[in-house]
Amino acid sequence: MDSAKPHRWKRRKAARPQEILEAAQGVFAERGFTRTRMEDIARRAGVTKGTIYLYFENKEAVFENLVQESIGTALNQVLETVEHYQGSSRDLLRNALTGIGQFVLMSERAVLPKIVIAESGNFPEMVRFYRTEVIDKGLALLMRVIRRGVESGEFRDLPAEHVARLCIAPLLLAAFWRTTFAQFDDKPYDYKGLIDTHTDVLLRGLAAEKG
């Protein structure tokens, strides 16, 4: 009897939810949320539809797990940095935007905001979930960094809620561009250059005036 087989089966079973999520992300990106069926995800993942229901209650649960597994994880990593950072708020904000920017640049999950906007009229509860789990948490994190900088005298005393939105807006643009318009670019766009330039302009605008 091959004792390795049960171990391979266990590894395969443990990896299956992630494989389903990867398949779902691809199908959502191609077909949109409304037109995607659980059987479409199952076919892409190479499993039966019944297998998906062992892990996810419905299509909405699949999407929510995608958000938590990807964007939620990225935000938690940035939050961990903010919690323990001992340096300047200027460098902390740069690191936070770079961390969020890496998600935009590297992850195929960058298509999720586009899906949320496209389906906002049909699935308001999905939009509410995304707002609560991603938008609100991301803005709160950035406002915390901004207020830290104001309190330390590094940043001008500007409304943190406005500055946080200014921080994130170009990164959302980069995500939309990458997942929508990039296919028509004559040459690959320099997203890293955009993020670096945005951060430089932002920090110059935030810098407290020296007396």
Domains of the chain, by residue range, sit at: 1-56, 60-206
The model's pLDDT over 36-93, given as tens digits with 9 standing for 90+, comes to: 999 999 999 999 999 999 999 999 999 999 888 877 777 777 778 788 889 999 999 9
d(CA 210, CA 186): 44
d(CA 192, CA 211): 34
Residue 155 pairs with which residues in a beta bridge?
A: 207
Q: What is the pTM of this model?
A: 0.81
Residue 85 vs residues 136, 154, 204: alpha-carbon distances, Å: 22, 15, 21
CATH of segment(s) 1-56: 1.10.10.60
pLDDT at 1: 46
Same fold, 1-56 and 60-206: no
104 or 42, which is more confident: 42
1.10.357.10, 3.30.70.580, 1.20.120.720, 3.10.20.600: CATH of 60-206: 1.10.357.10
Residue 207 pairs with which residues in a beta bridge?
A: 155
User: How far does Cα 89 stand from its chain's mean position?
Assistant: 23
The model's pLDDT over 178-189, given as tens digits with 9 standing for 90+, comes to: 888 999 999 999
Q: Which ranges constitute the DSSP H helices of 59-190?
A: 59-67, 73-84, 89-106, 112-118, 124-130, 136-151, 160-176
